Structure 1
Amino acid sequence: MIPTNNIKNAVGVDVGLKEFLTTNTGETVSVPNFYRKAQSNLARKQRKTDRKEIGSNN
């Protein structure tokens, strides 16, 4: 645990949907492309899994 007397300043970070993150100074970081690609791939695989029936051979 860090003693509170050693902390010099704090930073606020907000994680959002349009922007990947926004700092307390207003600086924004856009969403990385690999995240968007992985997100669509994950959604497709989840839909495929949802259509399967438990106990079947599909």
Structure 2
Amino acid sequence: MGLLTSRKALIGLVLMVVGTLGIIPGALPGSAQTMTYALVPAAAALTLGTWLVGTSEGGRPV
């Protein structure tokens, strides 16, 4: 099964993109305090997306 044919992998890829885009504003120098609060859900989305992609195929996750 390919990476783009698995629903679990596609959801993981979307979460990884959303998490990465969510981290960028909070990581910039001089960002507002409210943007630093957005780092926690963005990091959680990135972590969950990475886990979904890693476990979407059969066998041992790398």
Query: Is the TM-score greater than 0.5?
Result: no
Give the number of the structure whose residues are more often strand, by fraction: 1
With CA pairs under 8 Å and 6+ residues apart, which has the higher RCO, 1 or 2? 2
Q: Give the TM-score taking structure 1 as reference length.
A: 0.41
Q: Give the TM-score taking structure 2 as reference length.
A: 0.39
